[in-house]
Structure 1
Amino acid sequence: MTKLLSSLAAFTALTAAASAADLPRRAAPPPVFTPVPVFTWTGAYFGINAGYAFDASDRNTGNTFVVPGGAGGYTVSGAPVAVTFRNRSQDGFSGGGQIGYNYQFTPGSGVVVGFEADAQYLDFGRDRNNAFVNGGIRPGFYATDPRGLSSLDFFGTVRGRLGYAFDRTLVYGTGGFAYGSGSADRSFGGYAGNDSFRTGWTAGGGVEFALPTDSFLNFFRSNAVTLKIEGLYVNLDRGTRNQGAFLIDAASNVPVLYSGVGRRSDEFAVVRAGLNYKFGSY
């Protein structure tokens, strides 16, 4: 009897195992798909830049005036003295910072619009008041020419940007409002025309490339670090301010002689590289 019960139990277990093997197996869940974020230029940014600025004017103006001699004149010999301001190209370092915002219509590749504002230092001071005097001016007097690029110490722009993104590469054009000022225009007192602030326009273009988010340059944990190379042409209108050269009384720092020897246009170009930190969408 015991053997019969044991055999029946074993048969029942084998039958159950065989039935379970015939049941359909539950399919394994599909792997979770995590989409790779598509890069977009949309977002705010700030950064720094540095480059080189150089004269872009035609420099075809006259730059010589005569200091009178005779009794009560301003020359050592008493004879008239010609003062010539060298009309040569000026150039120097430019550097500063910028802030802006971009909007990309379609992530990945597509049209990008935006705006940017910057403020820049200019090193045009090396040739400031650069004059050749054919003779001698009396002690206590000196000639100066506050016109043109030699009087610019800084400039800034507020510009629109329009470009096309090829994923992480952006090619763009830019243009808008420009302004500038300097210290040389105010290097002597008591003269109503020594206001050096001037405004104008600027235009240019560039190319910008976005580095990976984990770039070693990403000190601020931004969505992206971008590098750009940019060129700008800047034209500042001086109006009628300081259109000539001056003979200055060093004791009072006041002009005693003025000569309208022409105008140096404030036209210059800047080629610079920049680094931006972008915040917003990936």
Structure 2
Amino acid sequence: MTRFVLGALAFLAAGWSIQAKAADFNYNSRGPLTVNQPLNAYSWAGPYLGGNFGYAWGSVDNAWAKPSGFVGGLQAGYNFQRGPWVFGAEADIQGSSADDTFATWKFSNPWFGTVRGRGGYAFNNVLFYGTLGLAFGELRASTFGLSESHTNVGWTAGLGAEFGFAPNWSAKIEYLYVDLANSNFVTTGASHGLSFGTVRAGVNYRF
């Protein structure tokens, strides 16, 4: 009888041991599957700084001049992210070689800048966005040694796409339309403003 009881206890102990090992195996095998991996693993959140280069073309109000030329500059911004939705703000400053001549007058846009809001939708490391905000820049008219410059304020809007190719690096391409308000030029005796489009490519580093 004693041998029977001891044998039964040994059998139960062995069964419990097998069940415990099986449970441990199942827990370990299921462990990696219970980790909540984010659907959007690439993070667009935080500050960034970068540079860009592109081309601009436009027209001057009350003159037949159509300034065009290369542009390049720096941009900085900050993004917030909630799931796939990304929103934030960006500012940039650009040097420009855009100019054109109408009659004896040469019109040029030596520089411009923007301060914009950005919002878009990210497919992991690819972000599509729209942007809207304030623009400012210089319009210069010159002839026969005379030159007059006005810094005008206006608005800008555009679309873009950005691709994250490394944890801290991304490349972008975007189109902006810029409309700078008119101002009166004494030397030409007319009111002039500048509107133009620009396509530019850039690179950003995220901190």
The answer as to 2:55 corresponding to 1:52 is yes
Structure 2 CA distance, aligned partners of 1:56 and 1:181?
A: 14
Residue 151 of structure 1: aligned partner: 108
Of the two structures, which has the highest relative contact order with CA contacts closer than 8 Å and spacing of 6 or more? 1
* TM-score (norm: length of structure 2): 0.75
Q: State the match for 1:42 in structure 2.
A: 45
Asked whether the equivalents of residues 77 and 89 of structure 2 are also in contact (C-alpha less than 8 Å), the reply is yes
More helix by share: 2
SS in 2 for 1:97: strand
* Counterparts of 1:268 and 1:188, CA distance in 2: 25
Q: Where in structure 2 are the equivalents of 1:25-104 lying within 5 Å?
A: 27=21, 30=28, 33=32, 38-56=41-59, 61=62, 87-104=64-81
- What code does the residue aligned with 1:172 have? Y
SS at match of 2:183: coil
CA contact (8 A) 1:145 1:244 kept: no
Mapped pair 1:120 → 2:94: yes
Partner of 1:199: 153
Q: What is aligned with 1:277?
A: 205
Residue 117 of structure 1 deviates from its aligned partner by 0.2
Q: Equivalent residue for 1:163?
A: 120
Rounded Cα–Cα distance in structure 1 between residues aligned with 2:92 and 2:129:
17
Please tell me whether residue 237 in structure 1 is matched to residue 184 in structure 2: no
Q: Deviations for 1:6-55, whole angstroms, at most 9, x for unmatched residues?
A: xxxxxxxxxxxxx79x7435636626647656223111111111111001
State the alpha-carbon separation in 2 of the partners of residues 169 and 229 from structure 1.
12
Give yes or no for the alignment of 1:228 onto 2:172.
yes
Shift of 1:263: 4.1
Bigger share in strand: 2
User: What letter corresponds to residue 91 of structure 1 in structure 2?
Assistant: S
CA distance in 2 between counterparts of 1:39 and 1:103 reads 13
| 2:7 counterpart residue number | none
Contact 1:185/1:196 (<8 A) preserved: no
Aligned to 1:69: none
What is the rounded CA distance, in whole Å, between the counterparts of 1:264 and 1:198 in structure 2? 10
Please report the TM-score for the alignment, with normalisation by the length of structure 1: 0.57
CA distance in 2, matches of 1:278, 1:154: 26
Change (3 A) 1:56 1:237: same
Tell me the equivalent position of 2:4. Answer: none
Question: Does the C-alpha gap of structure 1 residues 177 and 160 become closer, same or farther in structure 2, counting only changes over 3 Å?
Answer: same
CA distance in 1, matches of 2:118, 2:51: 17
Instruction: Say what the alpha-carbon RMSD is for the aligned residues.
Output: 3.1
The alignment partner of 2:150 has SS state of: coil
- 2:137 is paired with a residue of what secondary structure? strand
The runs of at least 4 consecutive aligned structure 1 residues that moved more than 3 Å come to 31-37, 182-189
* AA matched with 2:182: R
Residues 120 and 154 of structure 1 are in contact (CA less than 8 Å); yes or no, is this contact kept in structure 2? yes
Q: CA deviation at 1:164?
A: 1.6
Superposition deviation, residue 103 in structure 1: 0.6
Q: Which runs of 5+ in 2 are unaligned?
A: 1-9
Tell me the percent identity.
39
Q: Deviations over 1:146-185 (max 9, x none)?
A: 6xxx231000000011212222221111111111125656
Does the 8 A contact of 2:131 with 2:157 survive in 1?
A: yes
Q: Number of aligned pairs?
A: 187
**8 Å contact from structure 1 (residues 56, 269) kept in 2:** no
